[in-house]
Amino acid sequence: MRRFKVTVTTAADGTATAYTPRLSGKISQIEYVKTDFADGVDFAITGEATGIGLWTESNVNASAVRAPRQPTHSQVGAALLYATGGAAVAEEIALSSDRVKIVIAQGGNAKSGTFHIVVD
């Protein structure tokens, strides 16, 4: 596994955009370590090339860890479900020679936080 660490610092209006280096693999988890982003910070974390959603959350107040997953589908595009209970089957999200894009809003003036992207 590999870890990509990105520290993000906001502009005066509380926004910022930052990127990981290009990476390939399955996103195992994203760890946010709060430094001093304002309470209520908003995240939109995606794959840069395709815009695939990895983590979108509003009003975050503390460090957090998320393990993003996506629903799986059959060859005809039907959602795959577990036999019992009909719950959706989810799988890690893969990126290939892509960067993770981290967009911050409502972060406060010149505030920062760090994101660790763990890739298998």
Map out the domains of the chain with their CATH numbers: 2-71+91-119 (2.60.120.380)
What pLDDT sits at residue 87? 84
What pLDDT sits at residue 105? 98
CA 105 centroid distance within chain:
14
Pairing label, strands 64-66, 23-34:
antiparallel
Q: pTM score, two decimals? A: 0.92
What pLDDT sits at residue 46? 98
What pLDDT sits at residue 86? 80
What pLDDT sits at residue 85? 73
What pLDDT sits at residue 12? 98
* Successive 10-residue mean pLDDT values, the chain, 120 residues: 98 98 98 97 97 98 97 90 81 97 98 98
